[in-house]
Amino acid sequence: MTEFLLLFRNASAESSYLSTSQDMAEDMPKWESWIGNIAMQGKLVHTAPVRYDASIVSQNGIASGPHKEADSVLISGFLICKSDNLEEVQEWSKSCPILKYPHSSVEIRPLVPFPVN
């Protein structure tokens, strides 16, 4: 089986995520169900939301704050799962709760294992 990294992207405000506490409370059962479906199949490896706080290390030094793309879109969480095929992971992603928000997306990236000697 191949492991896949799912990156959850969503728009943000100036110094926080756009989701309100009410949105988060309403969304939690949807996330639990969605992730639970993957876990019940024995295909969940790890998942977590990420805090808004960030440091970016580059050749120019260290900067504070998360990296934001166009429309203030940033990574808000991730999930690592395993599957025999990309199409299955794409189908799961179509029903991801993050997609209810404008400018949101799920990016799917296959992981390449390091060789073990």
pTM above 0.85, yes or no: yes
Q: Is residue 89 part of a domain?
A: yes
Count CB neighbours of 6 within 10 A. 20
pLDDT tens for each residue of 20-71 = 677 778 889 999 999 999 999 999 999 998 888 889 999 999 998 888 777 7
Q: Is residue 117 part of a domain?
A: no
Left if phi > 0, otherwise alpha if psi is -120 to 50, otherwise beta: which for 71?
Answer: left
Rounded to 5 degrees, φ, ψ at 79 are -145, 135
pLDDT confidence of residue 25: 82
- Rounded CA-CA distance 98/91 in Å is 14
Q: Is residue 87 part of a domain?
A: yes
pLDDT band at 116 (very low <50, low <70, confident <90, very high): confident
Q: How many domains does the chain have?
A: 1
* CATH number of the structural domain spanning residue 93: 3.30.70.1060
Range of the domain at 57: 2-110
